[in-house]
Chain A
Amino acid sequence: MTKTLTFNFGGLDCVGHASGALFVPDYDCLLIADVHLGKVSHFRKHGAAVPTAAIRSNFDRLDIAMEDFKTDRIYFLGDLFHSHTNKEWDYFAGWMEERKPKTTLVLGNHDIIPLSRYDALGITTCETGTLGDLKLTHIPEENPEQFTISGHIHPGVRLRGVGRQSISLPCFFISGKQMILPAFGSFTGKHVLRPGSDDRIYAIADGELMALHETP
């Protein structure tokens, strides 16, 4: 069990990262879903005093993921920004300025900020993206023809042991030709899925990544 784990998806080697990011070496890029930037400020604006340190943490982990894989190419698979722009947009703009990653955003249901503002930061936006034969979407879609990677769900998995032990963990969830990435953001919840027996799950526990169920 380590901070990263390599597995095959659609004939490609994929490297899961304990932050929730996915690295695809053949294309030298990171796939990241559901960062929900601005959510902390959004809550604070409505009178809920969420710690501001949670804002910083998102950027710190983005830095770590980029450094660990020595890459500057990022695909955000939707819900990059939680709501309308707020101060966190400025932080994000500052971060983009400093790191200058080549960035594409596949638009998600939360992404309501005018596209021109992404343009201004040099971010390409699209409804769906492609990575070779892979399709990139925000909301998972059942497509028997094509391997797809998406986000949106914030997948989690529940584990049970003897004596009614139970724990739930965020995970990479692979079902057939569909991979769903865990939510990357530090202020996001998770939705527990119940996998079928052919599904593959790579869960994040205590800053490490582990294969829970891998079909040979």
Chain B
Amino acid sequence: MKREELLNIAQGWFEGRGWNPFPFQKQTWNAYLQGKHGLLNAPTGSGKTYALWTPIVLSYIKSNPEYKTKHKKGIKALWITPLRALSVEIQQAAQRMADELETGLTVGIRTGDTTQAERAKQKRSMPDLLITTPESLMLLLASKDYPKLFKTLEAVVVDEWHELLGSKRGVQMELALSRFKTVCPKLRIWGISATIGNLDQAMDVLMGDSTEQEKPRVLIRAKRKPKVKVKSIIPKKMETFPWRGHLGLHLLEEIIPIIEASKTTIIFTNTRGQCEIWFQKILEKHPELAGELAMHHGSINKETRLWVEQAIRNESLKAVVATSSLDLGVDFAPVETIIQIGGPKGVAKFLQRAGRSNHRPGEPSLIYFLPTHALELVEASALKRAVTESVMEDRTPFLLCFDVLIQYLVTLAVSDGFKPEEIFPEVQRTFCFQGLTEEQWQWCLNFITKGSQSLESYNEYRKVLIQEDGLFKVTDRRIAMMHRLSIGTIVSDAMLLVKYVSGGFIGTVEEWFLGKMKPGDTFVFAGRTLELVRLRNMTAQVRKSKKRSSNVVSFMGGRLPLSSQMSQLLREELQSSSAYKSQTRELRALSHIFERQLQESIVPASYEFLIESFETREGFHVVFYPFEGRFVHEALSHILAYRISLLIPISFSLAYNDYGFELLSDQVWDVQLIFDNELFTPEYLLQDLEKSINATEMASRKFRDIAVISGLVFQGYPNKTVKTKHLQSNSRLLFKVFKDFEPDNLLLQQAYRETFEHELEEGRLRIALERICNQDMVWRPCEKPTPFSFPIITDRLREKMSSEKLSDRIKRMRVQYEA
């Protein structure tokens, strides 16, 4: 059949449903049928499933003209999705088309939720299209005879590639694809990505190192620029609006009319804790909303979440308080309005959330921004500009993840075994491992076979065996099983199941939170006040409590730093200070704060770098304002403190937020020495960073994930997971012995590298220092704290930096005595 005829089949099907294919869909069909690989840049809900599923079906029809009567067996395509929740939606869409075109093609799902029976059935006879997650795909690679299973595979479609790209799950995908390229010679690789700053690179990473001739590829963009209108919720009495805070509850009453005026509203919060608190408070103040208000976050049990999602579709809810758990996924037509509480810290995240409101064609999505403290209004103002100027963040791919590589090699050894000479070139052609040297490769092989690099003849280490024919294989069944259970790159804290004594599952809570509670204590979770009855194994049994409790469940992590794109916008927004009176609504609302700031200090212009100093009861504060996001500020504060401490003996306590950082000391020092000694120079950055920051402590935290992914520590069997505390202390202990006895261990070095690149954003730091060096430094000694400094100096999450010897420091420290 010619391409024309094939395309007509698709066109006909679309028209039969009263649809007209979008240009980007047709473009994708054509490119696929020409045998090209590619990346499709299209937002959720734009018809991207049919953009890629259609040509897969057409290609099948082409190669099997008697498709209506004879079904050709074997898997045709893999559809990788980062979210299990999305798989059903995709399955339904794909199956509908396959059925209506009478192709007889089957669509199956395989994720962590798939039953054992279903898996076995799939193993016997694969569906034509398999929808799965990167982890489940790896598990398939860990099963015997996988090359036979995938022999007929023609296409891999990686959905939401932007979500995977900047994570180790992306690396996992790269490695899986490198194998498929060999196993399935006819393979076409396609990705689907939302708009990010580095789309071209995203495609390169997906394709790996193969030339354009080898693999002709296209980047197809769906030309659908999202129209977004941002409206800030500005308090009527700006004067009493707090200068610091992160909950934003002062403005609770302001959102009630918004909720009432709209069919369904999603209220996005930045953390699960914030989500719980908002849900609780809205119901407390407005009990009339009970039954019409729901909550949605990643720790609530799946049934409840699905129920909430369904209720949104049924329009039976007025509002949902949510976290990023609703960022992605299926479309909710009835959602008319979005409210964002607190700065979203990134443009892409904000737009994604704004896009959740389904609007009438041609009309923009409306998103309300609710600031949690006064200065966040500047962020709102910056976001508005980001929307009009289409600024987008990059997703930076990982490089040289030895932990993922080690896991992958053991995966291959668990299934059919592998020969290094065959796998090495494959691995080297992935983006992640393009710089992999022969020595590093050998190191990884030694690691999985001998557990060390030394050539000692005696060894009790058992993992992968080298067989006589040179095949690297796991023969021990227990090791194989433990490995299968450990496949994955998402390391989460151990979760406790929260259940009623009478039965009934409520959700999961991080162990550290419940671990410190005693039976009888109450806490707020999933919108209910619960009393802890007992902890048994990994289950917390609870009952409902009538007591009022302010002990809201909290979760680790989740605090994202300002993206560099947002930082830039924020600086520009602020630095147009001289004209602030004529600026946006948000900036005008802040005028009294700017005035207060000006009484003591200045609002820095774009060519100025502001430093403030003042004394309080706590000590001598020096506050700096680079506006570069908290990670960069964390690193900057350490470097600066270190450099100062080389000049004078001093101890600092450090604090930072997204806007600036503070050095607090118990003695007054001369700020002038910063200028005299050019302490902001980017020279010797890395050396100073290594000496200044508690890199060891940070790396040891990073090392926990690496230890789990590389199989150094085992997270436990299902329903019998190892306690986080043990996991933590095991990995810390391992970190310490590696540091003491094997400092050149690649996994240890990776922990440091990840710390510098991801935690400290070394690259961004360098650019920031270069910028600061070219600015006019303005030092303002102040009488009292300024509005700008207030959120920083009141931060209680502090770190220390000292030039004193450990022994001297200890002399000044005090032992923690019994409370």
**Does residue B456 face the partner (Cβ distance < 8 Å to A)?**
yes
Which listed residue (B461, B653, B737, B810) contacts A210, Cβ 8 A? B810
Pairwise interchain contact B818-A212, C-beta atoms closer than 8 A: no
**Does residue A165 face the partner (Cβ distance < 8 Å to B)?**
yes
Segment of B256-264, B378-386, B395-403, B801-809 engaged in the interface with chain A: B801-809
User: For the complex, what is the distance from the CA of A166 to the CA of B653, rounded to whole Å?
Assistant: 11
User: For the complex, what is the distance from the CA of A194 to the CA of B814, rounded to whole Å?
Assistant: 12
Most A CB atoms within 10 A — which of B463, B713, B813? B813
Main secondary structure of the interface of B (DSSP, over half): mixed
Segment of B245-253, B291-299, B740-748 engaged in the interface with chain A: B740-748
Q: Mark B444-470, 1 if CB is under 8 A from A, else 0.
A: 000100011010101111110000000
Q: Which residues of B lie under 8 Å from residue A87 when comparing CB positions?
A: 458, 460
Which listed residue (A45, A162, A195) contacts B461, Cβ 8 A? A45
Pairwise interchain contact A49-B451, C-beta atoms closer than 8 A: yes
Pairwise interchain contact B817-A196, C-beta atoms closer than 8 A: yes
Pairwise interchain contact B809-A51, C-beta atoms closer than 8 A: no
User: For the complex, what is the distance from the CA of A187 to the CA of B739, rounded to whole Å?
Assistant: 12
Pairwise interchain contact A51-B814, C-beta atoms closer than 8 A: no
Give the distance to chain A from B809, nearest Cβ to Cβ, in Å: 7
**Does residue A52 face the partner (Cβ distance < 8 Å to B)?**
yes
Give the distance to chain B from A157, nearest Cβ to Cβ, in Å: 6
Instruction: Identify the closest chain B residue to A53 (Cβ).
Output: B741
Q: Mark A176-194, 1 if CB is under 8 A from B, else 0.
A: 0000000000111100001
Q: Which residues of A lie under 8 Å from residue B452 when comparing CB positions?
A: 49, 51-52
Give the total of B residues in contact with A, Cβ under 8 Å: 51
Q: Which residues of B lie under 8 Å from residue A205 when comparing CB positions?
A: 806-807, 810
Pairwise interchain contact B712-A49, C-beta atoms closer than 8 A: yes
If A53-B742, A54-B737, A163-B800 touch, does A201 touch B812 (CB 8 Å cutoff)? no
Q: Which residues of A lie under 8 Å from residue B814 when comparing CB positions?
A: 159-161
Q: Which residues of B lie under 8 Å from residue A166 when comparing CB positions?
A: 800
User: For the complex, what is the distance from the CA of A208 to the CA of B802, rounded to whole Å?
Assistant: 20
Give the distance to chain A from B475, nearest Cβ to Cβ, in Å: 13
**Does residue B479 face the partner (Cβ distance < 8 Å to A)?**
yes
Q: Which residues of A lie under 8 Å from residue B704 when comparing CB positions?
A: none
If A47-B479, A49-B451, A165-B651 touch, does A159 touch B461 (CB 8 Å cutoff)? no
Pairwise interchain contact A161-B458, C-beta atoms closer than 8 A: no
**Does residue B114 face the partner (Cβ distance < 8 Å to A)?**
no
**Does residue B76 face the partner (Cβ distance < 8 Å to A)?**
no
Q: Which residues of A lie under 8 Å from residue B482 when comparing CB positions?
A: 47
Pairwise interchain contact B807-A186, C-beta atoms closer than 8 A: no
**Does residue B127 face the partner (Cβ distance < 8 Å to A)?**
no
Which residues of B (556-581) have their CB < 8 Å from a CB of A?
none
Q: Which residues of A lie under 8 Å from residue B451 when comparing CB positions?
A: 44, 47-50
Pairwise interchain contact A163-B810, C-beta atoms closer than 8 A: no
User: For the complex, what is the distance from the CA of A47 to the CA of B665, rounded to whole Å?
Assistant: 47
User: For the complex, what is the distance from the CA of A208 to the CA of B807, rounded to whole Å?
Assistant: 9
**Does residue A120 face the partner (Cβ distance < 8 Å to B)?**
no
Pairwise interchain contact A159-B810, C-beta atoms closer than 8 A: yes
Q: Which residues of A lie under 8 Å from residue B654 when comparing CB positions?
A: 163
Which listed residue (A1, A47, A57, A194) contacts B807, Cβ 8 A? A1
Pairwise interchain contact B806-A48, C-beta atoms closer than 8 A: no
**Does residue A206 face the partner (Cβ distance < 8 Å to B)?**
yes
Pairwise interchain contact A161-B800, C-beta atoms closer than 8 A: yes
User: For the complex, what is the distance from the CA of A40 to the CA of B664, rounded to whole Å?
Assistant: 43
Q: Which residues of B lie under 8 Å from residue A53 when comparing CB positions?
A: 740-742
A-B pairs with beta carbons under 8 Å apart, 23 shown: A40-B737, A47-B479, A48-B711, A49-B461, A51-B741, A87-B460, A159-B814, A161-B812, A163-B653, A163-B654, A163-B664, A163-B800, A165-B651, A165-B800, A167-B813, A186-B740, A186-B741, A194-B818, A195-B818, A196-B818, A206-B806, A210-B810, A213-B815
Q: Chain A: residues with CB nearer than 8 A to chain B?
A: 1, 40-41, 44-54, 57, 86-87, 157-167, 186-189, 194-197, 201, 203, 205-206, 208, 210, 212-213
Q: Chain B: residues with CB nearer than 8 A to chain A?
A: 447, 451-452, 454, 456, 458-463, 479, 482, 619, 651-654, 664-666, 711-714, 729, 732-734, 737-738, 740-742, 745, 798-800, 802, 806-807, 809-810, 812-819
Closest 6 CB pairs of A and B: A163-B653, A49-B451, A53-B741, A161-B813, A51-B742, A165-B800
